[in-house]
Amino acid sequence: MYVTLPTEHTAAVTATAPLSKTCLSFPETRLKTGSYLYYEGDNVDWLYQVTSGVVRLTRLLSNGRRQVISFGFPGDIVGFPSAGDHHTDCDALVDTRLRPYRRKCLESSTCDAPLHRALLQAALREISAMQDHFMMLGRKSAAEKVASFLNVMSERVGDDMGVHTRFALPMSRSDIADFLGLTTETVSRTLTQLRKSKIIEIENIHTIVVLRPTALLGLCLGEGD
Amino acid sequence: MYVTLPTEHTAAVTATAPLSKTCLSFPETRLKTGSYLYYEGDNVDWLYQVTSGVVRLTRLLSNGRRQVISFGFPGDIVGFPSAGDHHTDCDALVDTRLRPYRRKCLESSTCDAPLHRALLQAALREISAMQDHFMMLGRKSAAEKVASFLNVMSERVGDDMGVHTRFALPMSRSDIADFLGLTTETVSRTLTQLRKSKIIEIENIHTIVVLRPTALLGLCLGEGD
DNA sequence: CGGGTTCTTGACTATCTTCAACGAAAGTGG
DNA sequence: CCACTTTCGTTGAAGATAGTCAAGAACCCG
């Protein structure tokens, strides 16, 4: 999951259906909270489609700085290889199930052509979503970043409750910070501000209710000027 | 071209050789300075490999904010589609030549399997390079960003002059700023600082000489602490 | 040469980070 | 199961980094 621009209605709510029925292949992988699916530098044998739970893709810099590259929510594909290797660490934020696909199904259409096409399309969608994320990282204020993040979460995993939307934040404040290029303090302060302006309610640390979706959407684009 | 981490030696200097000899197909496209190869929203019919010159991929936000997504230098592939459409604008910074490949050669291996594989690998490399770029946008200071940018430029298009390296900056300061998530003023000030500390020489506005590559590399990783 | 754009530099300001303290939540071991 | 320890989240004050506004210099193009 990336922070894409709200204008483009990510119409298709990401589906968790199998990408192919031909070579349905392998049983789901189960991953307990905190355990790793792979590490940076590992050889890639499989790609995975998250079917339930949430994973986190991270990249570390020598001096301890960290970037959360993306979160993998149900429907997302994780594990695209570069030169055959993984380029990030991947671990589970909560108990997670993943449907494995052989790497060679991405790289060749011989074993399962529809699957090959689906994985390729997923890779291309990934590129496009990452381009939007660039804009967010490079050109948005802290308030816009946090608002955009909450907005995407609400669209992707929110429970519709009429005007309101409730969703869980399975990740920590520092995960959010490292995802958006901020500090935990700034994330926390920004959430508090959104709460005080009655745009969201912080039901508990890991549960957000969006009270005024339109106001939130406005903040994503930088209206509060 | 993205700002990747300097640790991983991008060993293979990106080659401008054709990706396939099978279906060598179409004559090179020529693009004059300032003219557009495609616009955001255009339907994708072709991908292009830059053979000479430089293109710029940009994305605009309603309020006038701009993100330069990447620069296309010789060897780079541009034009990866998302849902069949272009997701950025692309124009030429200088007179440019591009080798076109049919989109369907990316999406299916039927017409030219080696080309299909090569384009797919290029897309996967793109994802990996963009992940590094996230780190740069989200977690680096202005000085680190500019130093990293110069470092990548020097590796990609620098003329080796013994210890020194000279290269042209075909893009404006504001292109660099929009690429790195800074303002033109900050880019300019940072370059001046690098010049004053004798790490680079600004031969003229669009030509840089790296005088102390090791010092530059140090700044990329944030040594100047 | 002249006009317009781009680049640089300065002064000031805003935003975000840093450092620090405290409270809440969660994990651990007896 | 409870007390203890540790981690995580919030808040405040102070400081730094980068942005804004403005002016002048350098560059480019016709």
pLDDT tens by residue, chain B, 225 residues: 999 887 655 555 577 777 776 665 678 899 999 999 999 999 999 999 999 999 999 999 878 899 999 999 999 999 999 888 999 999 999 999 999 999 998 988 888 888 999 999 999 999 999 999 999 999 999 999 999 999 999 999 999 888 899 999 999 999 999 999 999 999 999 999 999 999 999 999 999 999 999 999 999 987 754
Report the share of chain A in percent with pLDDT over 90. Answer: 74
| B192 interface with A at CB cutoff 8 Å | no
Do residues A174 and A132 lie in contact, with contact meaning Cβ atoms separated by under 8 Å?
no
**Which amino acid, B125?**
R
pLDDT, position B221: 84
Per-residue burial over A113-139, b if 16 or more Cβ lie within 10 Å, else e, is bebbebbbbbbbbbbbbbbbbbbbbbb
Is B83 in contact with A222 (Cβ distance < 8 A)? no
Residues 6+ apart with CB under 8 A from A204: none
Mean pLDDT estimate for chain A: 90
- The position carrying tokens 């990452």 is A130
Give the torsion through C-alpha atoms of A100, A102, A107, A112, to 10 deg.
-90
pLDDT, position B225: 45
User: Does residue A62 register a pLDDT over 90?
Assistant: no
CATH class of A140-220: mainly alpha
pLDDT, position A63: 81
| Structure confidence by residue, pLDDT tens digits, A183-207 | 999 999 999 999 999 999 999 999 9
Q: What does the domain layout of chain A look like in residue ranges?
A: 29-136, 140-220
For A80, the closest of B62, B117, B127 (CB atoms) is: B127
User: Does residue A11 register a pLDDT over 70?
Assistant: no
pLDDT, position B26: 75
| Structure confidence by residue, pLDDT tens digits, A12-34 | 557 777 777 666 567 889 999 99
Strand locations in A13-64 (E) = 29-31, 36-38, 46-52, 55-60
> Between β-strands A55-60 and A66-72, what pairing exists: parallel, antiparallel or unpaired?
antiparallel
Residues in chain B: 225
Six token digits for residue A143: 């308030």
Using 50, 70 and 90 to split pLDDT, how confident is the model at A7? low
Is B138 in contact with A137 (Cβ distance < 8 A)? yes
> Between β-strands B46-52 and B77-78, what pairing exists: parallel, antiparallel or unpaired?
antiparallel
Supply the pTM of this predicted model.
Answer: 0.92
pLDDT, position B224: 53
Within residues 153-212 of protein chain A, the ones with CB less than 7 A from nucleic strand D are: 172-174, 184-185, 187-189, 191-192, 202, 205
What letter does residue B93 receive in the DSSP assignment? S
Six token digits for residue B12: 């293979």
Strand, coil or helix: B5: coil
Chain A positions touching B139 (Cβ under 8 A) are 61, 65-67, 178, 181
Do residues B80 and B88 lie in contact, with contact meaning Cβ atoms separated by under 8 Å?
no
Strand, coil or helix: B26: coil
Residue nearest to nucleotide C9 (CA to C1'): B189
Six token digits for residue B160: 């080796």
Using 50, 70 and 90 to split pLDDT, how confident is the model at A107? confident
pLDDT, position B10: 56
- The position carrying tokens 């279906």 is B23
For A123, the closest of B88, B124, B178 (CB atoms) is: B124
Strand, coil or helix: A213: helix
CATH of domain B29-136: 2.60.120.10
Chain A positions touching B69 (Cβ under 8 A) are 131, 134
| B164 interface with A at CB cutoff 8 Å | no
pLDDT, position A22: 60
Nearest to A56 by CA among A41, A85, A36: A36
Residues 6+ apart with CB under 8 A from B176: B146, B149, B169, B182, B184, B187
pLDDT, position A208: 96
User: How far, CA to CA in Å, does B23 sit from each of A116, B47, B51, B158?
Assistant: 22, 14, 17, 32
Edge-first strand order for the sheet with B66-72 is: B36-38, B89-92, B55-60, B66-72
Query: CA A131, A133, A137: angle at the middle one, nearest 5?
Result: 120
Chain A positions touching B108 (Cβ under 8 A) are 109, 117
User: Does residue A181 register a pLDDT over 70?
Assistant: yes
Do residues B222 and B140 lie in contact, with contact meaning Cβ atoms separated by under 8 Å?
yes
User: Does residue A225 register a pLDDT over 50?
Assistant: no
Beta bridge partner(s), residue B160: B165
Q: Which range among A140-144, A173-177, B60-64, B178-182 shows the weakest confidence by mean pLDDT?
A: B60-64
CA dihedral over B145, B149, B154, B156, signed as positive or negative: positive
pLDDT, position B94: 95
What letter does residue B22 receive in the DSSP assignment? T
Higher pLDDT: A21 or A153? It is: A153
Do residues B78 and B48 lie in contact, with contact meaning Cβ atoms separated by under 8 Å?
yes
Six token digits for residue B126: 């793109």
CATH of domain B141-220: 1.10.10.10
What letter does residue B21 receive in the DSSP assignment? S
